[in-house]
Structures are given as structure tokens and as C-alpha cells.
Structure 1
Amino acid sequence: PVRTAWYTGPRRLLDYLLMYVQEGEMIARVEGRGHRFRAGDFCLIQPGELHTLEGPANTITPYVHLDVFYNPVRERSFVVRSGMVDVSGLDELIQPRLDEATGVVVPTRFVPLSPAQFRDTMLKAIGIWQRRDFLGQLESHYLATGLVLSVLQSYSRGSSDSPDQPEFLNWITSFMSLHLSEPLSVSDMAARAGLSASRFSQVFRNRFGRPPHQFLLHLRIQRAQDLLNHTSLTMREISGQCGFSDVHHFAKTFKRLSGQTPGSYRRTNQPSGRAAPGR
């Protein structure tokens, strides 16, 4: 369901909180560090982390609380509410952190190896759990275990999501395409990959043969060409949908990369009979 503006006050959890931003934006402050999540992003709050969560406007944020490690006194555990930041004396109920138990460091904003598959599995697990029957809970636990395994495989050394593996960054072109209308910096993409900006740029260039900002520009121009060919949107509307700050910047970049002005490209390529407005 859609949640209007909301805020979850400071707290430390005993378990793991996995969240998916389906619509809108969410702000998480974890151990003093702020993270802004957009539609399509995943968030992981680990046990004992001091955090707040905020949805500044309407959001859809499916979430699930889960235990990763077996605890014989699990039945005594509970969901921590806002304001509970002192969990001293509850050591036997607090789940171990992933880095402490497995040596795998998973960032608060993490990127699964296959984001769409991870999302679908997570939403399925939530839906099945809500049935409240034994088989549903068993299947939900099974799916949740698969999610945890996927995260650990994505960030463990030597995994197929290691920067040294050819499969690394397979998700990035889809991510860029989904966010073409937004300001998207190398730092943003690097954070989602769990790398520094310089390391991300190096890995990206090795994988795709050009720097990330050039690759992104070509995707923006390809989207613009498609809109010029198949829509009657104005140049201003197209420039906005393709992530350019203004029409002048759009026109200048378009001509530099394609050899034609946007207007000339539209007149040359658009099927006859379709109106072709200007600005």
C-alpha cells in the first residue's frame, strides 16, 4: 500500500530488515550516515545498527524482518519499535552481523546480481508469508534464505559479482536505462556497485570499452532518437525525459554525437504523416 509522508524514529533492531523501494523515495540514516533511496533500490539494516527511516512523500516500500542465523531462543525475540536504542542486556536475542559471522561486508544500499529476480523473489516471499499458513511460512522461509544467499554471493570475494569477474556490472545498463531522466553521477553508480568512483570507472571502462559518463550520454541520445522517431513530444519534453538540464545542452550534445541537430534528425527519420512540433 501507498504510505503518505512517514518517519521511523531512532532504534536498533535485533534482526535484519530488508526493504525495497517500489515507488517514491526513502531516506535512511544509519550510524550517522545518510542514504537516499530511489525507486528500484534495496536497503539492508543489520542488527544493532542505529538508524532512522523516512519517506518524505508517498512511497511504496515492501519490507521483511528476518533472522539469518538460527537462534534457539528465537521465540523470545520481538520487533523493536521507534525510540528503543538501548539493546544492552539482549545479547542472546541479537542476530550476528553479516561481516562478523561470515566476513562478507554488505552495504546499506546494496545491488543484487539480478535486481529484477531479487525483487520478484522478495515480493513473492512477503505475499506468501501473509497467508499465515504452515506451507506458506515454510516456502517464505525458503525464499528468504535464497535472498540472503544471493546477497552473500554478490558481495563475497571471488563471487561472480566481483569486479574481476566478467559478469560484474551486467545490471548497470538496465539501471542506467531506468534512470535516464534523472541526474545520475559516477558516484551514484559506484555506490550502488559497492566501489569507489575511481575503481568503478576503471572496471566499467574495462567491461564496456568507454567511461561510464560517455556510455550514459550515448544511452541518452539513443533514447532521444527513439522519442524523435516515434513520438510528437517537443524538444523540451524530450530533453527532460533524457536527463538533459536544458534544450540547448541537449541539442549541442545530440549534434556532437549524431552529426545532426535533433530537428534535422526528426525530419529525416520520422514516418510521414506524424506531426513534428518544435520547442
Structure 2
Amino acid sequence: MTGSDAAMNLQDKSWKDYPVLPYIRLCYRFRAADFFQGERRLLDYLILFLEEGRYILQVDGAEYEILPGEFALIQPGVLFTTRGFGSCVVPNAHLDFFYNEERERSFVTTPGQTNLDSYADLLQPRLIDFPLVNLPVKLVPRQPGKLKDTLYRMIEAFKHNDIHSMLQVQKLATELLQLLLGDGEHSRSADFEHQQLVAKMNAFLSFNLSSPITVEMMAKHAGYSESHFNTLFNAHFGVTPHQYLLDLRLQKARELLDTQELKLDLIAEYCGFANASHFSKAFKRRYGMSPRYYRESRDFLDF
């Protein structure tokens, strides 16, 4: 299996499976005159900006001419060659966008390294294999000035080895990824939006479970108007926000009944019910028995 094949196997993976945490491996202004670099595949990403000269990139059999003021992005696993004409000045960065606990073992490949089977565990996921991301080799950024400035600031910060500079480099690399995704028309993947809404709401509701929570509060936390939030919530969760919150409260109450010897009024308080009576009525409506009976009989119940 080639590095390209390994990258293709990442298709249909979810964004949540790959935490974004950039790691910059090499970041500098490359200078050379009339050169050729033979075939290779990368484990990481290469983004470059042509300051001077002329570049010809051949990527998976297609040829791209890069002229001064233009950007290119080589994604992991693709087969490519590089040829420079004239005196070339090329600010560039080799980096991982996604966290890999073995990333310090990874490296910038050299010409001739086309089979990456031995390093498959180090191969970065390709952006183009994520839903609705369309990033060509020859980039046409919406904000070329901002992309160029971000790359140049990364190069400058990378020269230093102190913790502040390294954090700055990482921050700038994240900003660079945001610019690329904006250019790649990502953003509104239904799958990604669903993941984010579920994660946001579960964390918010769990943290505030014992407090009064209104739909207005949920909508504000999610970043939507209340009416739009209700529509989205029903579409993503299949129930109303109130019903979903009640389900969470009852699930938490069952967990406490199963694992703790707390009084019912305290469980009611911890789970956001007005009082023990309110808790008992809601519990019985859902499970067909009182909390007290559930606790006494749970070893014999089948649910």
C-alpha cells in the first residue's frame, strides 16, 4: 500500500476523530536556483508561497505552474516533484495539522521516498478527505494578504526556541488552517455541525443540570436565535430541548439511585427537579415506578 492509498483510507472519517493541534516541523525561506527534486510522498503538509522565481509542481500526474505571489499546498501521501526556474525564494512550512502522539518521530521525506508503508502510523489525514473540503494544489486564497502574513509570522517566530515563540507558532498554524478551510468551502458540513451541537449541548446541560435551564439559555450558548435553535435541536436530537433535558435529568437520577445512597430530595436537587415530589412524578411517568421502588428492586429489574 502506498502513502496515497493510506491517505485514501481516511475518507469518511469524522472531524472529531482527529484533534487539531498543529506541529511545525520545518518553517523557513527556501532559496535555490534552477533545481529539481525527484518523486516523493510526504507524511505531513507542505504549504509554500513563491516570492521570486518560477515553480513547476507535478502532483499525482498533473502539472501546476506557480508564479510569484501564488500559493501551493501539498497534502500528505500524494506523489509529487518540484522544479524551480531562476533564482527562487520560497517561504514554506512543513507541518502536521492533526495531533499524533508519535509526531516527533515523523520527518520531512526526501526525493526517492515514495513508499510510506513503514510509516503509515505517522501519515497525517488529508484535508481533502474530510466532508466538503475542496483544496486544490494551487491555492487561490480569498485573503491572500492574510495567508501570506500568517506564513511569514510563523517563519519569524519559528526562528526562536523559547516557549512563547513556540506557542505563537502553534497559534499561527491554527489560524493558517482556518484560512485554508475557509478557502476550501468547508464550514457547513451537516455532520460537523451535528457533532458540534451535540458536544456543546451535552457539556452545557451536564454542567448546569442542577440549575434552572431555559431554551433561551440553551440557544444563547449554542450561538443561535431561540426559534432557529428549536428547529435545529429537533432535527439533530429528534426531541424538543425540554424533553432532551428531562431525559438527561432522569438518566442522572437513575445513575445516582444505582450508585449512591442519597436521599430522594437531594437527588432531586442534584438533577434539577423542583423537589422530591416533582422528581418522583417525572420518574414514575417515564419508568412506571417510583424512585423508591426502583432503588429497592433494581437488582431484579431488567432495564
The correspondence for 2:123, drawn from 84, 94, 101, is 94
Amino acid at match of 1:8: Q
- Give the corresponding residue for 1:42: 71
Matching residue within 9, 14, 39 for 1:10: 39
> Counterpart in 2 of 1:84?
113
Q: Moved runs in structure 1, 4+ residues, more than 2 A? A: none
- In structure 1, distance between residues paired with 2:126 and 2:159: 26
Query: Per residue, is there more strand in 1 or in 2?
Result: 2
Query: In structure 1, what is the Cα distance between the partners aligned to 2:61 and 2:76?
Result: 15
In structure 2, stretches of 5+ residues that fail to align are 1-28, 189-303
Letter in 2 for 1:133: D
Q: 2:90 is matched with which residue? A: 61
Residue in 2 aligned with 1:32? 61
Shift of 1:3: 1.8
Distance 1:147 1:109, change over 3 A: same
- Residues of 2 paired with 1:158 and 1:142: CA distance? 20
Deviations 1:32-77 (A, max 9, x none): 1100000000000000010001112111111100101111111211
Aligned-residue identity in percent: 36
Counterpart of 1:110?
A: 139
Q: 1:158 to 1:81 in 2, by over 3 A?
A: closer
Aligned with 1:39: secondary structure?
A: coil
Q: Deviations over 1:231-269 (max 9, x none)?
A: xxxxxxxxxxxxxxxxxxxxxxxxxxxxxxxxxxxxxxx
Question: What amino acid maps onto 1:21 in structure 2?
Answer: L
**How far apart are the structure 2 equivalents of 1:139 and 1:157?**
25
> Which protein has greater RCO, CA pairs closer than 8 Å, 6+ apart?
2
- What is the CA-CA distance between 1:158 and the residue it aligns to? 6.5
Counterpart secondary structure, 2:87: coil
Within 5 Å, give how 1:136-147 maps onto structure 2: 136-147=165-176
Structure 1 alignment gaps of length 5 or more: 160-279
Distance 1:75 1:103 in 2: 30
Distance 2:80 2:38 in 1: 8
What one-letter code is carried by the residue in structure 2 that aligns with 1:56? F
* 1:191-227 Cα shifts (integer Å, max 9, x gaps): xxxxxxxxxxxxxxxxxxxxxxxxxxxxxxxxxxxxx
Q: 1:17 to 1:119 in 2, by over 3 A?
A: same
1:119 and 2:148 equivalent? yes
Task: Quote the Cα distance in structure 1 between the aligned partners of 2:166 and 2:56.
Answer: 30
- Say whether the 8 Å CA contact 2:132–2:186 is kept in structure 1: no
Deviation at 1:110, TM superposition (A): 0.7
Letter in 1 for 2:105: R
Aligned length: 159
| Equivalent residue for 2:185, pick from 156, 180, 202 | 156
Q: Is the 8 A contact 2:131 2:186 kept in 1?
A: no
Q: Is the 8 A contact 2:181 2:187 kept in 1?
A: no
* SS of equivalent residue, structure 2 residue 77: coil
Cα distance change on mapping 1:89 and 1:158 into 2, 3 Å: closer
CA distance in 2, matches of 1:45, 1:75: 20
Q: TM-score of the superposition, structure 2-length normalised?
A: 0.50
Q: What letter corresponds to residue 64 of structure 2 in structure 1?
A: H
Greater gyration radius: 2
Distance 1:100 1:158, change over 3 A: closer
**Post-superposition offset of 1:23:** 1.1
Q: CA deviation at 1:132?
A: 2.4
Structure 2 match to 1:133: 162
Report SS of the residue matched to 1:81: coil
Distance 1:116 1:80, change over 3 A: same
Q: 1:124 Cα shift?
A: 0.9
Please tell me the root mean square deviation across aligned C-alpha atoms, in Å: 1.5
Q: Distance in 2 between matches of 1:158 and 1:19?
A: 23
Work out the CA distance in 1 between the residues paired with 2:118 and 2:174: 28
Question: Contact 2:134–2:186 (CA<8 Å) still a contact in 1?
Answer: no
Matched to 1:4, the amino acid is A
